[in-house]
Amino acid sequence: MNQTLSVKFAFGIVFISVLSALIIGSIFGALDPSILTGSKPGLSTYFAMFVGQGFLAVPVVVYLVRKKYPLFESLRFNPVSKNTAFITLLLSLGAMVISDEINILVDMVIPMPDSFLQVEAMLKPDNSLSLVLLIFTVVILAPIGEEILFRGFLQKYLENAWGDITRAILFSSLFFAAIHFNPYWMIQIYFLGVLLGYLAWKTDSVIPCIIFHVIINSTSLLFTYLGDSFESLILWHGHLNPLLLVLGGYLFWIGFKQLKTERRN
């Protein structure tokens, strides 16, 4: 198989994985009567999200198993040191603050329409079972599935096919941002995708990426669930509190500086 076909195949199997997850999630989501009434999502919607997200990496894993490739090595599931995990923690906390401010700046230029704001309603379920499914889906399944698919499989495939790390990170991150299907979050998701791509390459592992992704998703979910009362504590004149921005920038700088000096496995 030549290089062009190999790259097309890599993007193709990732697209099939995303499409399959959407179709399976939609089938279960159609069972929720709130779709027709326009009311708040019910348990079926959260179960659909759980099933769809859980299926995300299945096509890639099945392909690798059928081809008898070493699964963990092919998906960059390599162990990392405690120091790398700590560096990832610093980097992710800093990136969380920076991406939140980017979100505010983008919204000032291109306000998000009400139809997209309805997504926030899904992050505030009415019952405990829906909340458990939501947390498990957003905080556990999504980070694992997306990092396996984009940093573990696609980016590594592009690195080998192109021999250009920067190009592989930029293109896989762009695809990663696009599949979130929200143009108003495109910039901040792409920013995080590039960071995750660099982290995967530098550590030769998706484990730090999963840690990073878990922290970003869990804090975003927590802040959304807490609502306006929490925003009043962290906002200052429509932006993040300057002290919080300084702290976030410092954590990001320290984490990135230490990451650059880490030896690649």
pLDDT at 210: 97
pLDDT digits (tens, 9 = 90+) for 79-128: 999 999 999 999 999 999 999 999 889 888 888 776 666 666 677 788 88
Query: pLDDT at position 232, please?
Result: 76
| Other residues' Cβ atoms within 10 Å of the Cβ of residue 20 | 15
CA 214 to the chain's CA centroid: 8
CB-based contact 256:91 (threshold 8 Å): yes
CA–CA separation, 265 and 263 (whole Å): 6
Q: Tokens 């190009």 belong to which residue?
A: 167
Q: What is the pLDDT of residue 115?
A: 62
- Distance separating alpha carbons of residues 139 and 141, to the nearest angstrom: 6
pLDDT at 251: 96
Say which DSSP state 79 is in: -
DSSP count for the chain of H helices, then E strands: 16, 2
User: What pLDDT is stored for residue 211 in this prediction?
Assistant: 97
Question: For residue 147, what are the contacts with CB-CB under 8 A and spacing of at least 6?
Answer: 196, 200, 206, 209, 210, 213
Write out residues in the chain with pLDDT < 50, as ranges. Answer: 1-2, 4
In this structure, the number of other CB atoms found within 10 A of the CB of residue 261 comes to 7
Is 210 part of any domain? yes
Tell me which residue of 193, 146, 186 sits closest to 18, measured CA to CA.
Answer: 146
At 140, list the tokens. Answer: 């556990």
Note whether residue 123 is domain-resident.
yes
In a domain, 195, yes or no: yes
pLDDT of residue 1: 44
Q: For residue 112, what pLDDT is reported?
A: 75
Report yes or no on 111 lying in a domain.
yes
Dihedral (C-alpha) 104, 106, 109, 111: value to the nearest 10 degrees?
-80
Q: Quick one: pLDDT at residue 255?
A: 95
- On whether residue 143 sits in a domain, the answer given is yes
Q: Please indicate, yes or no, if residue 36 is contained in any of the structural domains.
A: no
Per-residue pLDDT, 119:
67
pLDDT of residue 92: 96
- Phi, psi for 68 (deg, rounded to 5): 60, 35
- Beta bridge mates, 240: 235
Burial class (CB in 10 A: 0-12, 13-18, 19+), 145: buried
Q: Which tokens in the block code for residue 29?
A: 């989501």
In which domain, by residue range, is 179 found? 78-261
The answer for residues whose C-beta is within 8 angstroms of residue 234's C-beta and 6 or more apart is 240, 241, 244
Residue 215 lies in a domain: yes
Closest CA to 211 of 113, 95, 114: 95
What integer pLDDT is reported at residue 156 of this predicted model? 94
Domain count, the chain: 1
Domain assignment of residue 34, yes or no: no
